[in-house]
């Protein structure tokens, strides 16, 4: 093919979420053959498995873009292949296979915890990301059991908290959901639009009481109490009709201190410490007051962001892969080069983008832009290397290595077949969307479709 003859470089992109997909498109457009390697069977990452299930129009619009990217001849896709120290392949394997550069866009696959006593309880302590994956039917989370009680504490006040609150209130219809914030009403991180799904269940009298309680602290910092309250309530005009009598409330200036459990490992309470605020670098900082009390809850869910996978094979600091503080190849002044702080040197030919570069930063739009910028940094590096004359030899050798892994490696043709089966099943069941919830089911469908094509 003419396009293939024009390719000068070969790059492996790890992770097929928005960052990895849009980075692959950018790389292919600028003269690289791209091998896109994905841990999951389906592409999409958090765009597929992180957006609330009922947002069908948004998700289908993104899937359409992703299908167009996978149709690019210069991009090869291999799903159901893990990369990491204990994965099917390691970073060293990819470099040894002949890839001139590796762009890691695998997201923040780890979970961030606070290290509180009681986090190890077996029933009732969860991380929001695991639950988001569960109700979005990402294997193996889709098959795990999560024991959700009737009184739930959510740690954090961002959009992820509201997604979890929406699921608890509108799907599970629990009795109480309390979101806990270390800081005050002026520092909430959620969007008004996301609040519309649960604000009909918000206990307005409790909110008034809570605002009055924290007002002296806010006023001491010059914060506008009424403006902060108005923002929280700004979703009321477009509130979704309630479908439960779940009570939703916000609790400010409160920091989780420990989780209490009973003899069976079940959560039975949450100890919180009241906080106050002090100014710091143009923002505020929460400071413990020493005053503690117990909340009567049976489930605690942490909605506090994510961290990268420590076992991936790159150095980690502050929940993120370490980047070169003085990059030789950057984009818009941002470093995308992986860096080894022990050697004080960049890791040759390895770059990070998306949530692999900055965990829990934005969603699709932010990840897309970061992936494209990361690709530009990679291309700047590639331009210092000689063009390869044996691209097809490297690709064919890598394909052979993949199919010797002893597992079904999923191609973009397989994804198209799987999507066709799922779409037909949705029509058959009268649903807007249908997903197989286990890897086994998806792989069986793909294997049958492959056999039918022979």
**Residue 437, Cβ density class (10 Å: 0-12 exposed, 13-18 middle, ≥19 buried):** middle
Residue 176: strand pairing partners: 151, 247
Contact 138, 51 (CB under 8 A): no
* Angstrom distance (rounded) from CA 7 to CA 29: 9
Last residue of a domain, one of 273, 304, 335: 304
Beta-carbon contacts of 159 under 8 Å, excluding residues fewer than 6 positions away, are 189, 190, 191, 194
Q: Report the candidate in 144, 164, 141, 139 with the shortest Cα–Cα distance to residue 153.
A: 164
* Angstrom distance (rounded) from CA 123 to CA 264: 8
| Number of other CB atoms surrounding residue 55 within 10 Å | 11
Asked if residue 436 is part of any domain, the answer here is no
What does the block give as tokens for 22?
């849009």
Residues 11 and 88 in one domain: yes
Residues 279 and 319 in one domain: no
Give the pLDDT of residue 1.
37
CA triple 197-63-99, angle to 5 deg? 125
Buried b (16+ CB within 10 A) or exposed e, 377-396: bbbebbeeeeebeebeebbe
Beta-carbon contacts of 80 under 8 Å, excluding residues fewer than 6 positions away, are 38, 39, 40, 41, 407, 408, 409, 410, 439, 443
Omega prior to 140 cis, within 30 of 0: yes
Last residue of a domain, one of 371, 386, 410: 410
Residue 78: strand pairing partners: 37
Residues 39 and 102 in one domain: yes
Residues 194 and 312 in one domain: no
Residues 73 and 36 in one domain: yes
Q: How many domains does the chain have?
A: 2
Residues 251 and 104 in one domain: no
Q: Report the candidate in 228, 156, 151 with the shortest Cα–Cα distance to residue 186.
A: 228
Give the pLDDT of residue 2.
40
CA 18 to chain centre: 10
Residue 270: strand pairing partners: 259, 295
Predicted structure pTM score: 0.91
Number of helices (H) and strands (E) in the chain: give both, helices first.
14, 20
Residues 155 and 60 in one domain: no
Residues 228 and 212 in one domain: yes
* Angstrom distance (rounded) from CA 295 to CA 308: 31
Domain that holds residue 119: 113-304
Q: Which CATH number characterizes residue 292's domain?
A: 3.50.50.60
* Angstrom distance (rounded) from CA 186 to CA 165: 20
Asked if residue 421 is part of any domain, the answer here is no
Asked if residue 435 is part of any domain, the answer here is no
CA 7 to chain centre: 32
Residues 247 and 118 in one domain: yes
Residues 320 and 288 in one domain: no
319 conformational bin, left if phi > 0, alpha if psi -120 to 50, beta if neither: left
Residues 41 and 184 in one domain: no
DSSP H stretches of helix in 97-224: 128-135, 159-166, 192-195, 204-220
Asked if residue 281 is part of any domain, the answer here is yes
Tens-level pLDDT at each residue, the chain (454 residues): 344 446 789 999 999 999 999 999 999 999 999 999 999 999 999 889 988 998 989 999 999 999 999 999 999 999 999 999 999 999 999 999 999 999 999 988 888 889 999 999 989 999 999 999 999 999 999 999 999 999 999 999 999 999 999 999 999 999 999 999 999 999 999 999 999 999 999 999 999 999 999 999 999 999 999 999 999 999 999 999 999 999 999 999 999 999 999 999 999 999 999 999 999 988 999 999 999 999 999 999 999 988 899 999 999 998 899 999 999 999 999 999 999 999 999 999 999 999 999 988 777 899 999 999 999 999 999 999 988 888 999 999 999 999 899 999 999 999 999 999 999 999 999 999 999 989 999 999 999 988 888 7
Residues 237 and 315 in one domain: no
Q: Report the candidate in 377, 378, 416, 452 with the shortest Cα–Cα distance to residue 102.
A: 378
């Amino acid at each position: 093919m003419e396009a293939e003859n024009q390719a000068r470089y070969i790059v492996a992109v790890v992770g097929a979420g928005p960052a990895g997909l849009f980075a692959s498109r950018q790389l292919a457009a600028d003269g690289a053959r791209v091998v896109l390697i994905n841990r999951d069977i389906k592409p999409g990452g958090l765009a597929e498995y992180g957006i609330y299930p009922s947002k069908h129009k948004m998700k289908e619009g993104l899937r359409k873009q992703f299908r167009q990217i996978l149709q690019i001849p210069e991009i090869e896709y291999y799903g159901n292949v893990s990369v990491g120290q204990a994965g099917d392949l390691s970073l060293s394997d990819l470099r040894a296979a002949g890839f001139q550069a590796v762009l890691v866009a695998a997201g923040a696959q780890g979970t961030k915890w606070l290290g509180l006593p009681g986090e190890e309880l077996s029933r009732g302590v969860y991380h929001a990301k695991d639950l988001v994956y569960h109700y979005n039917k990402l294997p193996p989370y889709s098959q795990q059991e999560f024991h959700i009680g009737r009184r739930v504490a959510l740690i954090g006040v961002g959009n992820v908290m509201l997604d979890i609150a929406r699921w608890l209130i509108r799907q599970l219809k629990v009795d109480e959901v309390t979101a806990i914030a270390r800081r005050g009403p002026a520092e909430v991180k959620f969007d008004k639009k996301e609040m519309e799904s649960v604000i009909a269940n918000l206990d307005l009298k409790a909110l008034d009481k809570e605002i009055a309680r924290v007002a002296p602290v806010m006023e001491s910092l010059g914060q506008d109490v009424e403006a902060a309250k108005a923002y929280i309530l700004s979703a009321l005009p477009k509130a979704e009709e309630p479908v439960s009598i779940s009570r939703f409330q916000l609790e400010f200036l409160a920091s989780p201190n420990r989780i209490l459990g009973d003899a069976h490992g079940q959560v039975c309470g949450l100890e919180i410490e009241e906080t106050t605020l002090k100014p710091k670098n143009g923002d505020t900082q929460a400071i413990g007051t020493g005053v503690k009390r117990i909340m009567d809850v049976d489930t605690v869910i942490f909605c506090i962001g994510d961290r990268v996978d420590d076992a991936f094979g790159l150095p980690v600091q502050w929940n993120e892969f370490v980047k070169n503080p003085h990059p030789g190849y950057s984009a818009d002044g941002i470093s995308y080069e992986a860096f080894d702080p022990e050697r004080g040197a960049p890791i040759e030919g390895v770059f990070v983008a998306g949530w692999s570069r900055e965990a829990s930063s934005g969603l699709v739009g932010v990840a897309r832009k970061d992936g494209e910028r990361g690709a530009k940094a990679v291309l700047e590096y590639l331009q210092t290397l000689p063009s390869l004359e044996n691209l097809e030899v490297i690709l064919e050798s890598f394909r052979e290595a993949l199919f010797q892994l002893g597992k079904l490696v999923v191609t973009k043709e397989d994804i198209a077949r799987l999507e066709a089966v799922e779409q037909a099943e949705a029509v058959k069941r009268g649903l807007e969307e249908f997903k197989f919830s286990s890897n086994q089911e998806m792989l069986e469908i793909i294997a049958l479709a492959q056999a039918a094509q022979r």
